[in-house]
Amino acid sequence: MRRLLTVAVSAAIALTVLAPQSSVLSAQRLGPLEKRPKLRDFPDTNDAQAYFEAGVQEFRHDPQTAAAAFYWAARLNPGWGDPLYGRRAALLAQNRNLLDAAMSDSRRSRSKDLRRLDSLQARALMLNPFLYRRLDRQLFMTWLSDGDRAAEVELNFEISKYMMQASEFTQGWYAYCLGRFDSALDHYAKALEHPRDAAATLHLERARIFGMRNAVDSAADEFRAALDDLRKKDQKDLVIFYDSKAQAEFSTAVLYEGAGMTRAAREAYGRALQEDLAYYPAHMRLGLLALSEKDTATAASELALAAQIAPDEPFIRYMNGYVLGLAKRPAEAVAELKKSIELEPYYALPNLVLGNQYETLEKAPDAIAAYERFLALASLHDPQRDFAKSRVDDLKEFLKAPGAK
């Protein structure tokens, strides 16, 4: 077990910080259509959060149902990274060969199927570089027990006993899995005293924990240290997952933006694009930064670039349509929003903005139809339902007036 634990822990961490090449990331890869699983105690079948929580609950004893739940959470809310991470984990848990390959950490010879699952993880980090990988331990348990639930108690005991003598690196990862972040930071810091080839990974893990805690300066320092190590490796050998540096710069920018450090955020997004011009999340965030400063021309330009790079991402097309609407380009906004809806017909939000744009174009019947689609697709507790209902009522009254169109 000692050797298996060491290999698997290294793989479980490394696969979250090294993304596939950007050419793989442009396509949405949720897999084949899944039947919606029944939600116990949740009557709202349009609630992405409910499906995600169901996936977490079912993961250990029914990964097939968990994968379906994560699938629907991702379809209902394509702008949320956690379901993508969860679906990758649940699909791995169902396929022993792929799980073995993932845990072997063989990055140079990954199969097409495994790269497809890795792309889900990469897209999750693009949406939220600080998401908590809450299923890592359960996936690890599934791998070690070969799906044998009866062995779980014994396995827990063996793992606990092993961890008492494990490396600082391994103990840090396990503490992270258990949500013991102070302990994880301490173990990773000790591991950095003798980092060998793992320095970048250790710095990235510490950076993400600090980022989750909104410790901006500490996280930024760790990202810089990780980048320094990654660039040293560039000079020595081929870097297969080159865009990991773009991800680190992007993560730093998200931190700065959240702290209100707009100039530093913009510079970090720019550095991410220097590392990878096709890194579309940086274009999107630069556009939204410009929008916050009322620079709609720059905002529209950056979102247009993001949509060109990732034409099959419904969330990007939605954001582009939203910005075009704010830039008072309603006809173009309608085209983008309709494309978002075409790409993901279960995504409610584009219909709400589409209704508004149809109103701007004085197309009341089309606006009503869009608002009604939003109401049919939106969660019952969506705070914008009341607005949509009021617009439908007002527009229907308007159409009753003599001469209305």
Same domain membership, residue 114 and residue 243: no
Decide if 219 is inside a domain: yes
Angle at 73 between CA 32 and CA 54, to 5 degrees: 105
Is residue 142 within 8 Å of residue 63, measured between CB atoms?
A: yes
Decide if 332 is inside a domain: no
The sign one gets for the Cα dihedral 92, 97, 100, 104 is negative
Confidence of residue 116 (pLDDT cuts 50, 70, 90): confident
Same domain membership, residue 209 and residue 92: no
Same domain membership, residue 83 and residue 51: yes
Quickly list DSSP for 140-174.
HHHHHHTT-GGGHHHHHHHHHHHHTTS-HHHHHHH
225: tokens are: 């240290």
What pLDDT score was predicted for residue 141?
86
Given a cut of 60, whether residue 15 has pLDDT beyond it is no
Given a cut of 90, whether residue 107 has pLDDT beyond it is no
Decide if 174 is inside a domain: no
Decide if 267 is inside a domain: yes
**pLDDT digit string (tens) for 43-67?**
899 999 999 999 999 998 999 999 9
Quickly list DSSP for 71-111.
HHHHHH-TT-SHHHHHHHHHHHHH-HHHHHHHHHT-GGG--
Same domain membership, residue 153 and residue 194: no
Length of the chain: 405
Given a cut of 70, whether residue 26 has pLDDT beyond it is no
Decide if 133 is inside a domain: yes
CATH of the domain at 188: 1.25.40.10
Same domain membership, residue 198 and residue 152: no
Is residue 379 within 8 Å of residue 48, measured between CB atoms?
A: yes
What pLDDT score was predicted for residue 175?
94
Range of the domain at 229: 181-278
Query: Exposed (0-12), middle (13-18) or buried (19+): which is 20, by Cβ within 10 Å?
Result: buried
Q: Which of 268, 220, 219, 284 is nearest to 79 (CA)?
A: 284
Query: Exposed (0-12), middle (13-18) or buried (19+): which is 41, by Cβ within 10 Å?
Result: exposed
Measured in degrees and rounded to the nearest 5, phi and psi for residue 388 equal: -60, -40
Residue that is written with structure tokens 């209704």 in the block:
355
Same domain membership, residue 196 and residue 147: no
Amino acid letter, residue 401 = A
209: tokens are: 């924990």
Percent of the chain with pLDDT over 90: 68
Count of domains for the chain:
2
What pLDDT score was predicted for residue 272?
97
Decide if 132 is inside a domain: yes
Given a cut of 80, whether residue 292 has pLDDT beyond it is yes
- 102, 136, 166: which is the final residue of a domain? 166
Angle at 93 between CA 191 and CA 213, to 5 degrees: 40
Is residue 85 within 8 Å of residue 135, measured between CB atoms?
A: yes
Same domain membership, residue 115 and residue 7: yes
Rg (CA), the chain: 23
* Distance of alpha carbon 236 from alpha carbon 124, whole angstroms: 30
Decide if 371 is inside a domain: no
Is residue 221 within 8 Å of residue 203, measured between CB atoms?
A: no
230: tokens are: 């990654």
**pLDDT digit string (tens) for 323-335?**
999 999 999 999 9
Mean pLDDT of the chain: 87
* Distance of alpha carbon 153 from alpha carbon 159, whole angstroms: 10
Of 172-186, 226-240, 347-361, the one with minimum mean pLDDT is 226-240
* Distance of alpha carbon 386 from alpha carbon 91, whole angstroms: 38
Given a cut of 70, whether residue 372 has pLDDT beyond it is yes
Decide if 403 is inside a domain: no
Same domain membership, residue 227 and residue 126: no
Percent of the chain with pLDDT over 70: 86
**pLDDT digit string (tens) for 207-229?**
999 999 999 999 999 999 999 98
Instruction: Kindly state the average pLDDT of the residues 157-180.
Output: 88
Predicted model pTM: 0.88
394: tokens are: 């007002």
* Distance of alpha carbon 26 from alpha carbon 309, whole angstroms: 7
Same domain membership, residue 190 and residue 140: no
Same domain membership, residue 157 and residue 51: yes
- 137, 166, 195: which is the final residue of a domain? 166
What pLDDT score was predicted for residue 25?
37
| 16 compared with 121, residue with greater pLDDT | 121
Same domain membership, residue 227 and residue 85: no
Confidence of residue 38 (pLDDT cuts 50, 70, 90): confident
* Distance of alpha carbon 204 from alpha carbon 315, whole angstroms: 27
Same domain membership, residue 68 and residue 96: yes
| 105 compared with 7, residue with greater pLDDT | 105
- 119, 134, 166: which is the final residue of a domain? 166
